[in-house]
Amino acid sequence: MTTLVKEVFSKSEAGSIDADGTRSVTRQFYVYDDGAGSPVLLLEDALSAAGLPTEPSGGSSNSTLDAGGVTLSYWGTRSWSKQKGHNDLWVLKYEYTTSPASSNQSSETNEISGGVRAVAKGVYRINYNAPDWDYPTRADIGGVGIDSGGTKTSISSQESTLTITQYRQSPDPSIVEFQDVAGKRNAESFWGAAIGTVLFMGARYSQNTTTGMWSIQYEFSYDSKTFHAEQVAKTDPNGNPLTELVGSGDLAVATASHVYFVQPFALATFATLPQQP
């Protein structure tokens, strides 16, 4: 028995493009025997027939194809079915894909998403004097005390988030790529935002093992009001906030007597993070 391979051509070209820029084209083959010997063609024999696509590392001329000037490669994704009533005929479909790195596009593409929501934030003072947000001193910020005996009062605040999803072929991402900037603020203007207003929260990444394309999600927090600084009250040796009475008589209330800002997030260069085109 001799196994034969014949590609099935359609009268029109067809393919698809995924959201990450990956292009796909499917080729279809008939695999059958020449009618001599055994009337049954086993699947493993059909899949190993000469002339079928092999992965690029296999060196087969069938491992790549040109579709509209774009080179696509076969990476191993395939499916099969047996024609009803035939024991010696298999229909094999092979998927060829590419990525933006090899499709006349940039080797990197980005998707941007974000949002704003109301969150509760604890503060001691409102209408305060703004300090140097990058290097605040421990001078009292003034303003109006709204805490209760040194306990912060929750007020409504806006939390703005930004997610940049990057698709790239290479280089492979690693923890080292993010460790020096995670938990840091932008030392230069970043995507149009002022210095110090963008906090890099971290990144997550995964790989499509079929195309080799990496998907990396960079997460940021944006704060143009306090630049991610936090209010802190001066305390006594036991760690209790120092308080003072404000008002007189039955209307007197105890509030923190000295409040200042701290900036827990240092500045860093975001050169290794996705840049605005």
3-state SS string over the chain?
Answer: CCEEEEEECCCCCCCEECCCCCEEEEEEEEEEECCCCCCCCCHHHHHCCCCCCCCHHHCCHHHEEEECCEEEEEEEEEEEEECCCCCCEEEEEEEEECCHHHCCCCCEEEEEEEEEEEEEEEECEECCCCCCCCCCCCCCCCCEECCECCECEEEEEEEEEEEEEEEECCCCCCCHHHHCCCCCEECCCECCECCCCEEEEEEEEEECCCCCCEEEEEEEEECCCCCCCEEEECECCCCCECEEEECCHHHCEEEECCEEEECCCCEECCCCCCCCC
Compute the Cα dihedral for 237, 240, 246, 249 and give only its sign: negative
The pLDDT of residue 209 is: 76
What is this structure's pTM? Answer: 0.61
Q: What tokens does 196 get?
A: 């110090």
- CB-CB contact of 201 with 182 (8 Å): yes
The dihedrals phi and psi of 169, each to the nearest 5 degrees, come to: -85, -40
pLDDT in tens, the chain (277 residues): 688 899 888 766 677 776 666 788 899 999 988 766 566 788 888 888 888 888 765 556 678 888 777 788 887 788 988 877 777 888 999 988 875 444 333 446 788 899 999 999 999 999 999 999 999 999 999 999 999 999 999 999 988 999 999 888 778 888 888 989 999 999 999 998 999 999 999 999 998 876 677 899 999 999 999 999 999 999 999 999 999 998 888 788 999 999 999 999 999 999 989 988 7
Please state the domain extents for the chain: 3-102, 108-268
> How deeply is 220 buried, as exposed, middle or buried, from its count of CB atoms within 10 A (0-12, 13-18, 19+)?
buried
The pLDDT of residue 85 is: 72
- CB-CB contact of 191 with 166 (8 Å): no
Rounded distance between C-alpha atoms, residue 9 and residue 164, angstroms? 41
